[in-house]
């Protein structure tokens, strides 16, 4: 199954900022789609349909406003800024990067080369991967819960089938005897035949339940045999 390409929202008034992000994004078959938006427009509407935001905060005022807007959006974000005070403060701890605003300093360099584009791109890719993995895990949990509910209902039907079938047999027998009773008024005979026909249809339904139960039991035994053969083959190969 091919995954949907993630959307990265670039918040900057500087075209070079977006080009740096795109140039340093790691090669990936599921490469993201980059959308550039001016910071002020994002702060006005606060939100949007995206997987990750990477913002350029070139002033302390803009940094504070963007941090607040990104946090309010409830999406993961990376805030790149050049504030010197960031380096003297301890690194924040994030319990959930899929809902956090992570700050990076653009002043970090190596051999006079700025490292923020590489750091932002690598961190961004890992955040998107983790968020998508968590989303798939939540979907799987929902599917599992639904399957468990259906399995519980199926077990209950299977356990109650014998009791209902016994009662249904009694209804069938009495309805058939009633239709054979001489001298019944036509309307009573019609009602008795209706009861008999509906009881027969219910009996067919429960016969199908029994057939499905047997098929599932046979399939389970065959699956167990195949698993046992596979383990035995692995043991012999290992020997």
Residues 171 and 204 in one domain: yes
In a domain, 185, yes or no: yes
Domain that holds residue 178: 155-228
CB-based contact 50:7 (threshold 8 Å): yes
User: Of 105, 139, 173, which closes a domain?
Assistant: 139
pLDDT along the chain (239 residues), means of 10: 74 90 86 86 71 89 88 89 55 60 83 83 91 90 87 77 81 86 87 89 81 74 66 51
In a domain, 2, yes or no: no
pLDDT of residue 127: 92
Sheet of strand 7-11, all strands in order from the earlier edge strand to the far edge: 33-37, 7-11, 52-57, 77-81, 101-105
Residues 48 and 115 in one domain: yes
Phi, psi of 108 (to 5 degrees): -75, 125
Residues 19 and 121 in one domain: yes
Task: Count how many domains the chain has.
Answer: 2
**CATH number of 44's domain:** 3.40.50
Rounded Cα distance between 202 and 190, Å, is 18
pLDDT of residue 93: 46
pLDDT of residue 44: 58
Rounded Cα distance between 155 and 191, Å, is 34
Residues 179 and 70 in one domain: no
Q: Which two tokens stand for residue 132?
A: 């998508």
Q: Checking DSSP bridges between strand 101-105 and strand 77-81, what pairing results, if any? A: parallel
Residues 42 and 103 in one domain: yes
Longest dimension (CA), the chain: 109
Residues 84 and 189 in one domain: no
In a domain, 144, yes or no: no
pLDDT of residue 17: 92
Q: What is the pTM of this model?
A: 0.61
Residues 13 and 117 in one domain: yes
Residues 11 and 54 in one domain: yes
């Amino acid at each position: 199954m091919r995954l949907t390409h993630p959307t990265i929202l670039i918040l900057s008034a500087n075209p070079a900022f977006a080009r740096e992000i795109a140039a340093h994004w790691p090669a990936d078959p599921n490469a993201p789609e980059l959308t550039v938006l001016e910071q002020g427009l994002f702060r006005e509407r606060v939100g949007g349909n995206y997987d990750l935001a990477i913002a350029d905060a070139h002033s302390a005022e803009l940094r504070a406003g963007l941090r607040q807007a990104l946090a309010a959006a409830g999406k993961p974000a990376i805030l790149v800024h050049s504030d010197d005070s960031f380096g003297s403060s301890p690194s924040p701890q994030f319990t959930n990067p899929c809902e956090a605003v992570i700050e990076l300093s653009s002043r970090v360099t190596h051999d006079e080369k700025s490292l923020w584009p590489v750091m932002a791109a690598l961190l961004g890719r890992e955040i998107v991967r983790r968020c998508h993995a968590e989303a798939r895990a939540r979907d799987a949990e929902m599917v599992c819960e639904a399957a468990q509910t259906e399995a519980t209902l199926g077990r209950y039907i299977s356990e109650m089938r014998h009791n209902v079938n016994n009662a249904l047999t009694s209804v069938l027998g009495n309805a058939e005897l009633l239709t054979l009773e001489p001298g019944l008024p036509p309307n009573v005979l019609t009602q008795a035949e209706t009861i008999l026909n509906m009881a027969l249809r219910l009996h067919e339904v429960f016969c199908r339940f029994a057939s499905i139960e047997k098929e599932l039991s046979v399939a389970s035994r065959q699956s167990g045999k195949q698993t046992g053969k596979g383990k035995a083959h692995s043991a012999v190969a290992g020997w």
